[in-house]
Amino acid sequence: MSSDADPALGTSSGLGPNPGLDADVVVLGASFAGIEVLYQLQRRASSPPPRVIVVDRERRHGYLPLVQERLLGTIDARSSTLESAAWIDSVEGARFVQGEIVGLDVARGEVTLEGGTTVRGRVIVVALGSVLEPPPALPGAARMIGYKSGAQFEQARAAVQDLLEGDAEERRIVVVGGGISGVELAGELAALRTATPPRFRHAPEVTLIGVEPALVPILGEKVGARAHAILVAQGVDVRTGTRLEATHEGGVSVREHRPGGDESLEIAAGLVMWAGGVRPSPVLTELGLPRTEDGWLAVGPTLQCYPTDPARAGVFACGDAVRIIGGTGRWPTMQRAIECIWQAKVVAKNVLALLAPRSADAPEPPPLHPHRLRK
């Protein structure tokens, strides 16, 4: 590392001292996937564990699987915030480094941070996640509120509070996205009507817009029908087969598919919340790693960024940021937290296999474990 950064950590088992490396493993991202990778490395490693540096721009992270509940006060946002940096620093052989990632030199295993600090490791694990934002080309995209993490989460929480505590004439909240996240958010918003004690001065009317004919299509027809029925029973205005065309002051313009032909409608709203899918984190464009045509990191079943190149075997990626390419093509993904856990286990096994001492006649790299597609 450069002199203004954290000092290099201790010596790893099996590697021996290497003054050119700051750590055996550098993990980029300290949210769900990155933390799970560190946990799995510690759990599976012999003693002493590998030296690990985890890099992130944030020292704390909200618990993502409960983001809707945290947003609306169903659970306290502060008590469900993970002290990521403090936990990492408490782990044997691990160190947290705060900084904005601006570049990666794969050949040197070197990560560059804003301001010029560099961090070098034998193995790099990219766990930089995704961003919950609408496509920029969608008219009025800037008017929609995302709520995933960090400053975006705080802005969304303030916007909801302003709407439901103030005197706005229109208190309808339109949720865009009929997948798992949109259904969860619409349900939590609708539950504000019956919350005891009330969490806000007013409760919103809720409209859920989904472009598919049914809700949560990834979970199957029966689950989608059940989710639809529950939301309607809560008083949610559910509109499937409906495409958002624009967001504007005072509401949204949609196009609704009907048996007799599509119909354009205007829906008044005091707030429009985006739950219609995530996009690749912008930092992925700065790393120079293989990507899919829509911008995600392309990895093989072993979760390596270069699965057929022994010289670059030690570059892995997992979590929201990746799409697995193998067999007949691109694997499906739920983009849920459980996939981060499954993938982190595979990454940890493979990282430890690369770091383990081997005889001179052993294959290089060693055989690695593939991720398994769960249906």
Find out whether the peptide bond into 197 is cis, omega within 30 degrees of 0. yes
Contact 171, 192 (CB under 8 A): no
Dist. CA 96–CA 99, nearest whole Å: 10
% of the chain exceeding 70 in pLDDT: 94
Mean pLDDT across 300-307: 96
pLDDT tens by residue, 127-141? 998 999 999 999 999
Q: What pLDDT is attached to residue 3?
A: 38
Structure confidence at residue 12 as a pLDDT band (50, 70, 90): very low
Residue 363, pLDDT above cutoff 90: no
Contact 96, 89 (CB under 8 A): yes
Judged by DSSP in three states, 121 sits in strand
Same fold: 23-69+81-131+279-355 with 141-274: yes
pLDDT tens by residue, 186-239? 999 999 999 877 889 999 999 999 999 999 998 999 999 999 999 999 999 999
Q: What pLDDT is attached to residue 335?
A: 67
Q: What pLDDT is attached to residue 15?
A: 34
Mean pLDDT, rounded, of the chain: 90
**What's the Rg (C-alpha) of the chain?**
23
Q: To 10 degrees, the CA torsion angle through 281, 287, 291, 294?
A: 30
CATH 3.50.50.60 fits 23-69+81-131+279-355, yes or no: yes
Contact 88, 95 (CB under 8 A): yes
199 C-beta neighbours (distance < 10 Å), count: 14
Dist. CA 285–CA 60, nearest whole Å: 24
Contact 26, 88 (CB under 8 A): no
Q: What is the pTM of this model?
A: 0.87
Dist. CA 30–CA 35, nearest whole Å: 5
Which DSSP category does 374 fall into?
-
Mean pLDDT across 327-351: 85
Dist. CA 67–CA 72, nearest whole Å: 9
pLDDT tens by residue, 264-296? 999 999 999 999 999 999 999 999 999 999 999
In this predicted model, which residue has the larger pLDDT, 231 or 327? 231
Q: Determine how β-strand 322-326 pairs with β-strand 329-330.
A: antiparallel
Residue 8, pLDDT above cutoff 70: no
DSSP string, 178-194: -SHHHHHHHHHHHHGGG
Dist. CA 39–CA 33, nearest whole Å: 10
Assigned CATH class of 141-274: alpha beta
Q: What pLDDT is attached to residue 2?
A: 44
Q: Determine how β-strand 118-126 pairs with β-strand 130-131.
A: unpaired
% of the chain exceeding 90 in pLDDT: 77
Domain boundaries, the chain: 23-69+81-131+279-355, 141-274
Lowest mean pLDDT among 193-202, 325-334, 365-374: 325-334
| Burial track 264-282 (b if 16+ CB lie within 10 A, e otherwise) | eeebebbbbbbbbbbbbbe
Mean pLDDT across 345-353: 97
Mean pLDDT across 307-311: 93
- Give the phi and the psi of residue 154 in degrees, each rounded to 5: -65, -40
Q: What pLDDT is attached to residue 334?
A: 65
Q: What pLDDT is attached to residue 374?
A: 67
- Give the phi and the psi of residue 274 in degrees, each rounded to 5: -90, 120
Which DSSP category does 234 fall into?
T
Token reading at 190? 């609708």
How many helices and strands (H and E) does the chain possess? 7, 21
In this predicted model, which residue has the larger pLDDT, 5 or 344? 344
Dist. CA 29–CA 354, nearest whole Å: 21
Residue 151, pLDDT above cutoff 60: yes
Dist. CA 88–CA 155, nearest whole Å: 27
CA distances from 21 to 118, 176, 365 (A): 11, 46, 20
Mean pLDDT across 1-13: 36
Token reading at 41? 């490395």
Place of tokens 């945290």: 70
Mean pLDDT across 16-27: 77
Structure confidence at residue 365 as a pLDDT band (50, 70, 90): confident
